[in-house]
Copies of this chain bind each other. A is one copy, B any other.
Amino acid sequence: MTIETLNAGLDTIWVVLTAAMIILMEGGFALLEAGFVRHKNNVNIIMKVFVDITIGALCFYFIGFGLMYGTDLLGMIGTSGFMQRGNLAHLDFSFSLDTFWLFQAAFVIAVISIVSGAVAERINFRAYILYAVLMTAIIYPIGGHWVWGGGWLGDLGMLDFAGSAVIHALGGFAALAAAMFIGPRKGKFTPHGTSTIALPSNLPLASVGAFLLWFGWFGFNAGSTLSATDVKIGHIAVVTMLSAASGGAATLLYTLFRYKRSDASAVINGSLAGLVGITAGCAFVSNDAAIFIGAVAGLLMLFATDWLESRRIDDPVGAFPVHGVSGIWGTIAVGLFSTESGLFYTGNWELLGVQLVGLVVLCVWGFGLTWLGLSLIRLWIPVRSTEEEEEVGLDISYHGVLAAYQDHEFIHYENQYMETDDRKG
């Protein structure tokens, strides 16, 4: 046993375990989103997450990984590594290359899952599958290449440790584009200008989701070191916790004092906003800064939610406020609070400027390519559910179940959507 073998083993299990934690976050996304939407669409939104984790992972294997991490061409795109083949000599890890693929695959399915929430309850399921292919094979990988794959934004010096910008801002703006492209749910905004709310169908289920996400985020941020001997690991985990706690506490107290009621959805999303907000800076900022970043992320999420309502944009689970807005804030916060090169520590505006350039590029890329992609898909099949599909619910329309929660006895095959043997309760 040599010290190199041990080190390779240590790094490998670190990456594998943290990748598994991130993949469990898909369960978190699925349940959070299912809990937030109406009963009749609970199964559909979970199935969308299954699209992400199955088809999305395969697309990233066949195409996306190569575009993101293959041999760089002009700072714009990767050109090798499709199906883990071709020259990848520039990637040098103590663990096998496909282990690196696994970790990155866990990231890409998180990105597409962000969008899945924003289009909840009204997207055509087949159109979603096509869009998921586009996102995991092309949109995210190219944007990610620019920052992490040897591309031009990384060369400029942009800092985004675990993806406030690459994952969350890009994903959040893609979510915004998709929500706007598809339009609000039927009945969400009334003709005479008032707005309505769809209460979460199952808040305990959403909470399961939130706790799984919180757990997985330790893998997301600390695992991004890709090395178990990185001295920053402990600190990364600590600031992740502090920012999440701060985001949740800020929304809990704000809604308590402003509305006399601590709003459950807000607290859940506030904690998640804290997690998103610290994702870029977790390796660069202090504990105290993390508390500030988290609190601001939580409050910005609340304001962004109200702004969306006022603009009559329908984002059923708050994907844009949580991921888009906090992703922007987190990326900017690195420019402000990085202890090595942030404005508040060095008086130097350079990093902040680079962060802003990168943000604009990634947000425009996520928004624009999503709009373009959905436009192309619409040439072929409808992007939006029909009125009738939406009315009866996407669970029945696309997945052939009467409802996510059943209280029936047996049902005859020949008319399973019509009548039941025996209705109870």
Using a CB–CB cutoff of 8 Å, the interface residues on chain A facing chain B are 1-10, 12-17, 19-21, 23-24, 26-27, 30-31, 34-35, 38-39, 42-43, 46-47, 50-51, 53-55, 57-58, 61, 83-84, 95-96, 98-99, 101-102, 105, 125-126, 187-188, 194-205, 207-208, 210-212, 214-215, 218-219, 222, 227-231, 233-235, 237-238, 241-242, 244-249, 252, 256, 259, 261-264, 267-268, 271, 287-288, 291, 398-414, 416, 421, 424-425
Contact = CB atoms under 8 A, between A and B. Distances in A.
A242 B57 contact: yes
Contacts of A95: 234
A207 B46 contact: yes
A411 B199 contact: yes
Nearest to A205: B204
For the complex formed by this chain, how many copies does it contain in all? 3
A3 B4 contact: no
A201 B404 CA distance: 7
A411 B419 CA distance: 29
Given A8-B229, A287-B84, A235 B61 contact: no
B215 A23 contact: yes
A328 B35 CA distance: 37
Nearest to A242: B61
Nearest to A61: B242
Contacts of A425: 39, 403
A378 B238 CA distance: 35
Contact of A54 (B1, B249, B288): B249
A401 B188 CA distance: 18
A364 to B, nearest CB: 30
A40 to B, nearest CB: 8
A385 B122 CA distance: 40
Contacts of A212: 24, 27, 211
Nearest to A99: B234
Contact of A219 (B8, B20, B408): B20
A43 B125 contact: no
B14 A13 contact: yes
A264 B401 contact: yes
Contacts of A404: 202-204
Contacts of A12: 228, 233-234
B19 A411 contact: no
Contact of A287 (B83, B198, B210): B83
Contact of A9 (B10, B241, B271): B10
Most buried by B among A16, A26, A30, A202: A16
Given A228-B10, A267-B50, A207 B30 contact: yes
B51 A252 contact: yes
A6 B7 contact: yes
Given A54-B246, A54-B249, A228-B12, A187 B262 contact: no
B264 A399 contact: yes
Contact of A408 (B2, B46, B199): B199
Contacts of A34: 204, 207
Most buried by B among A20, A215, A400: A20
Contact of A228 (B9, B30, B234): B9
Contacts of A424: 39
